Chain A
Amino acid sequence: MQFMLLFSRQGKLRLQKWYVPLSDKEKKKITRELVQTVLARKPKMCSFLEWRDLKIVYKRYASLYFCCAIEDQDNELITLEIIHRYVELLDKYFGSVCELDIIFNFEKAYFILDEFLLGGEVQETSKKNVLKAIEQADLLQEDKNAYCPRAFFLYVASTDAIGCPGGSWLFMKPCCYGHS
């Protein structure tokens, strides 16, 4: 995987992880172009994009877009599952995750991502193992004050013109992610 981007429906970047060395300018350009392209796509369209010489695999969860860049010979479908597994991990960690969790605790989201993907490759696919590793590190000295997103999300939601995208659970019903 070359990089992973998380951005909102409004085009705000929520998380970025680059696995290839690029200049800041380049990163900004790629982000801008991709956010634009992905947001312009209609819901029924294919989850894959050809962009320059890369393949972009993206999926939308509630108000949040997860977007991965892979090489042409990589498997697109399994990349979709990587995204899904990451969302599952976030969901399990935060307990019904919503965009606000990721906004306010993005460093946690990064920690989880680093435990799941390392250097662009899948490191650990077992949900249990990933979370165990995160919790181990968290437990050492948790600062509970840093993690209190819910008190604010309704406020943020109310300021959002479209409704409450940031507050929606990424899984509308956490267990029924449709595979049928």
Chain B
Amino acid sequence: MSDIVEKTLTALPGLFLQNQPAGGPAAAKASFSSRLGGLIRGITALTSKHEEEKLIQQELSNLKATVSAPTTTLKMMKECMVRLIYCEMLGYDASFGYIHAIKLAQQGNLLEKRVGYLAVSLFLHENHELLLLLVNTVVKDLQSTNLVEVCMALTIVSQIFPREMIPAVLPLIEDKLQHSKEIIRRKAVLALYKFHLIAPNQVQHIHIKFRKALCDRDVGVMAASLHIYVRMIKENSSGYKDLTGSFVTILKQVVGGKLPVDFNYHSVPAPWLQIQLLRILGLLGKDDQRTSELMYDVLDESLRRAELNHNVTYAILFECVHTIYSIYPKSELLEKAAKCIGKFVLSPKINLKYLGLKALTYVIQQDPALALQHQMTIIECLDHPDPIIKRETLELLYRISNAQNIRVIVQKMLEYLHQSKEEYIIVNLVGKIAELAEKYAPDNAWFIQTMNAVFSVGGDVMHPDIPNNFLRLLAEGFDDETEDQQLRLYAVQSYLTLLDMENVFYPQRFLQVMSWVLGEYSYLLDKQTPEEVINKLYKLLINDSVSSETKTWLIAAVTKLTPQAHSSNIVERVIQEFTISLDTCMRQHAFELKHLHENVELMKSLLPVDKSCEDMVVDASLSFLDGFVAEGLSQGVAPYKPHHQRQEEKLSQEKVLRFTYLALSFSSSGFTGRQSPAGISLGSDISGNSAETGLKETNSLKLEGIKKLWGKEGYLPKKESKTGEETEALPIPQESIMENVDQAKTKKDQCQVLTQSKEEKEKQLLASSLFVGLGSESTINLLGKADNVSHKFRRKSKIKETKSGETAHSHSMTCSSVSSLSNVSYDEDYYLNTLQDRGDKELKKFSLSLELLDSEPLTELPLVEKLSNCNLSAPSLFADNDMEIFHPPQSTAVSVAKEMSLASSFLEETTECIHSNLMEVCNNETISVFSYKIWKDDCLLMVWSITNKSGLELKSANLEIFPAENFKITEQLGCCLPVMEAEGTKTFQYSVQMEKPFTEENLSGFINYQMMDTHSVQMEFSINLSLLDFIRPLKISTEDFGKLWLSFANDVKQNVKMSESQATLPSALKTLQQKLRLHVVEIIGNEGLLACQLLPSIPCLLHCRVHADLLALWFRSSCSTLPDYLLHQCQKVVEGS
């Protein structure tokens, strides 16, 4: 032996020398053939990673030179490829060779081609761009007469092929399904399988050919086709039920040993084939008794035959058991399968034991008794030295957990958790423990302790839902308030104990949970004072290992506790230390705390105790900033312009926009040169306010002064101010309306009152902080931070069981508004259709009634009572947005409202209000039901008119409308008629109020009646409603328009191309007026002002301007979604007609 070693060693230097380019081609040939051996041996001889790296880098640079040299023969190239593959396997980058691999596959002879293809399959992945270069080669080889070449091409296609190039080879491969050689057919089937995986719709048309492959005389081809069938049946089992018989027959033949002996594996007939077939049968028979019945026999036989004591028979048995439990059950088979599982579980072989446990976990729901039967084995497995067995056992226990065994099971899980290091396992297990703990927690102490363990171990890797759910649970509580308080108290005590321990580090997430709970619920403590808690939080705050994110949680907790504390030494220390913190965020929080700390009363009202579940109302329009803006403008600050406005200004020909309508009202103020309407109006009257609240007020809160500032009426100019005098802060009717609104809100919900007052304070605080000089964002940040977590727990979830499923919706404020945004998805077709449906006739009526309306005298009536009524049903979305509900002066509403209570006839209605034309919604031989909409000023009135076509009398005709969640539907007339005479017509009226905004919704109902004491007949119908049905003109003056414009925060802007027929402003506006019921406030030159409202009272303003054939639309509203919706509608109307 030593001889050989010696020989080898002497040969080594020679091998290494071959790295240099050899003299002649012959020498090169000889050297290349053993180069790989040399390389491998060289590497093996090395002792350090560093040396290896050096050697490989050298090798790679040699290779790089060789492959790119023109003299390199294909044979040498093949050898180089092999070495490149080797280098890549060792983890080095050989990407320079990829292109040469493709070239080799293209140009080489068979053997070289083979290596080329291999290299390509190893180097490249499916989406690699170089792969496209291979397509031609593949196409060529597929057409080759040489079987080996065809095989190679099919092999590469089955491994990697660019999805977009499938059409190039698909016909060729389809042809191969008819090839005389089975190996070609087999590979072609697998290539199609690959295509099915990456682009299923490209091979849809050849499903029939798959069936042919299934019936192929060659077993290999048939077996290959099963791969496709497993996949397809998994996706849609119902489409392949007819094949059940075939699969059963094939399995019978296989089990019965009818296949060639070649396919035996350790004298078991074709085990792979059996397993595939069993899997297919399991998928087909799932929840399908008839299909399942077809396979009972063959499954029984499979179980019986697979009795040889060999690994592969266990594989078949396992699959068989799985199938038996998946399909429609048959007790006899289940019994046998259960026995089989027993064999696995009790087996001394660890692999089989593992599979036994695995089988138990999936049959446990169907057959819990089986777990009992094996309970001793399960207990043993719990302490098995192999962690995989333990883990599978825990999985089993997890599935059988209930209120009784929860303590033990979670105990075991925690033990395992403490030993695990792998992140994936920890995340998984921690999630399960948290889920079980929330589901079955026997008592408070256990729950909190378990969750403590979860947080300490799961720490920062666990799913964020776990702490969120936990805090939500704590905040929302269950039905029993005292129980909830105990739970919270226990949590607080437990955290204080944990924080007392020295030198223990907790994960950041755990600290965050602690700080939130301590901040919210420390008031429950009777022994420790808030100061002590603050002290503990302070210790964490100055701890370097605590992340700055956690510190913000901590300081938020300190802020919450400060109003409860009697002495404030530590708080002052916190303020002192963190107002000079280098972390801007911390500094910010510290400043906020500082200012709050100076006004304890405000702080107390701002941070009420135990109110984390209450809603918070935010003024999204930021109207309280107006004063600040005004002041800024007075000092010459450039007005803010939204992005699209700046954009437009760039595009616009004119350098400066003339906002004539505003200029009119403030012509003397001389600010017409300003670029924004906000700038103009505010610029005119800043002085009055700035005098009151100058910069001197930097540090203290002067609430009286602020009151005028945050309300927008303080600076809004009246018409009289035209003369240029300083504006006084006049009480305007609007304010009284506002108060009424507030009152209406208080009726709505008591807790709302709290938030209302809180909101007031908050607004004041926000305003004051602004004048102190802090940015608006930062102030919001303070408040947001303090109650940050509480937002998430807004909605109460009573049932414990649903906790785990609830992870999906964490209820934050933003969440609701976002979802409402997504609700407003436009259905273009619908609107187009309805517009067309209404037709010309409709238009006539429109204009007619518009004239009628216009001719009525303008009586300004603040319809407070009525509006407060509406308010009760105000849509929640807008409540969230804290919309200021605007009450426009209405003209005809009162009279209409009065009339509405009376039974008004069809004719009367048509003359008074705008209405849609009659539409038949349903009919039969006896009756016809027509319907039309009347767009009343304050609601949508739906009228159904029923005509009795028969000559008979109908009894107890009754019309009912199904309740819809977005509407409030009120009956206007008696809807049950005892008798309906022959050939008569009756109308039913319903007023529809919108409860929740939507874009389109069906209103459905039914009508039933009795004919001459015989059977009763019922007919259903439905009618489509759109948001447009709730849009009404808003009749306001130009001046009011100007005021309102400034108070709205949500704006949307877009240019729309006008159709030729109406390329002038008046005609465009008229269209808008007619089709969308917008009110034209004024037309000034090439600009137009329009206003409308969404019932009950959400205003939306539109400013439009014409440039050539472009109409620039600019919407503003207090509601965020309305402008988008209207823009969309306007666009359709303007572009469409």
Contact = CB atoms under 8 A, between A and B. Distances in A.
B1103 interface: no
B351 A78 contact: no
A75 B86 contact: no
A47 B351 contact: yes
B814 to A, nearest CB: 32
Q: Which of A17, A48, A118, A158 has the most CB of B within 10 A?
A: A118
B118 interface: yes
Contact of A75 (B109, B265, B318): B318
Contacts of B271: 78, 81, 125
Interface string A99-143: 000011011001100100011011111111100010011001111
B354 to A, nearest CB: 5
B89 A106 contact: yes
B118 A119 contact: no
Label chain A's interface by main secondary structure: mixed
Nearest to B230: A121
Interface stretch (B38-46, B483-491, B723-731, B889-897): B38-46
B159 A119 contact: yes
Given A13-B90, A125-B270, A141-B109, A133 B151 contact: yes
Contacts of B114: 111, 137
B424 interface: yes
A24 B152 CA distance: 25
Contacts of B224: 121, 123
Interface in B384-415: 385-386, 388-389, 391
Interface string A15-52: 11111011110001000000000000010111111111
A156 B41 contact: yes
Contacts, number: 187
Interface string B312-348: 1011001100000000000000000000000000000
Given A48-B354, A75-B315, A137 B193 contact: no
A123 B186 contact: yes
A49 to B, nearest CB: 6
Contacts of B33: 143, 145-146
A15 B88 CA distance: 11
Interface string B104-122: 0000011100110010011
Contacts of A111: 114, 118
Nearest to B89: A13
Interface string B355-369: 100000000000000
B875 interface: no
A21 B125 contact: yes
A124 B186 contact: yes
A172 interface: no
A36 to B, nearest CB: 11
Contacts of B391: 50
B348 to A, nearest CB: 11
Given A16-B89, A155-B4, A124 B220 contact: yes
Q: Which of A19, A51, A128, A159 has the most CB of B within 10 A?
A: A159
A137 B183 CA distance: 13
Contact of B265 (A13, A125, A145): A125
A107 B101 CA distance: 14
A48 B187 CA distance: 30
A9 interface: no
Contacts of A119: 158-159, 190, 193-194, 197
A77 B355 contact: yes
Contacts of A75: 275, 315, 318-319
A51 B82 contact: no
Contacts of B122: 16-17, 110
Nearest to B358: A76
A82 B147 CA distance: 27
A78 B37 contact: no
A180 to B, nearest CB: 7
B155 interface: yes
Nearest to A23: B125
B262 A81 contact: no
Interface in B123-140: 125-127
A179 interface: yes
A132 to B, nearest CB: 9
Interface string A66-94: 00000000011110111001000000000
A171 to B, nearest CB: 14
A126 B312 contact: no
B69 interface: no
B179 interface: no
Contact of A106 (B85, B193, B312): B85
B309 interface: yes
Contact of A140 (B121, B148, B319, B424): B148
Contacts of B152: 137
B582 interface: no
A118 B224 CA distance: 10
Contact of B125 (A22, A48, A85): A22
B312 A45 contact: no
A118 B159 contact: yes
B5 A158 contact: yes
A162 interface: no
Nearest to A107: B82
Contacts of A126: 220, 260, 262-263
B109 A122 contact: no
A151 interface: yes
B266 interface: yes
A104 B270 CA distance: 32
Given A48-B388, A52-B424, A114-B118, A137 B110 contact: yes
B126 A21 contact: yes
Contacts of B353: 46
Contacts of A142: 111
B350 A44 contact: yes
A49 B388 contact: yes
A31 to B, nearest CB: 8
Contacts of A148: 37
A110 to B, nearest CB: 6
B91 A80 contact: no
Interface string B145-164: 00110011001001100000
B286 interface: no
Interface in B224-273: 224, 227, 260, 262-263, 265-266, 270-273
B5 A154 contact: yes
Contacts of A77: 311-312, 314-315, 318, 351, 355
B311 A81 contact: yes
Nearest to B127: A21
Interface string A140-180: 11110110110110111011000000000000000000011
Contact of B262 (A50, A53, A114, A128): A128
Interface string B2-29: 0011001100000000000000000000
B785 to A, nearest CB: 36
A45 B386 contact: yes
Contacts of A13: 89-91
Contact of A118 (B155, B266, B315): B155
B36 interface: yes
A50 B386 CA distance: 12
Contacts of A28: 91
B317 to A, nearest CB: 9
Nearest to B12: A155
30 contacts: A13-B89, A22-B125, A23-B125, A24-B93, A44-B386, A46-B388, A48-B351, A76-B354, A77-B314, A77-B318, A81-B311, A81-B312, A114-B155, A118-B158, A118-B190, A121-B190, A121-B224, A121-B227, A123-B190, A123-B224, A127-B262, A129-B220, A137-B111, A137-B148, A145-B33, A152-B41, A154-B8, A158-B1, A158-B5, A159-B44
Given A52-B424, A78-B272, 8 more contacts: A22-B125, A42-B385, A46-B353, A47-B351, A50-B388, A140-B148, A151-B4, A151-B8
> A-B pairs with the 9 shortest C-beta distances?
A77-B315, A155-B8, A126-B262, A145-B33, A78-B315, A21-B125, A21-B126, A179-B310, A45-B386
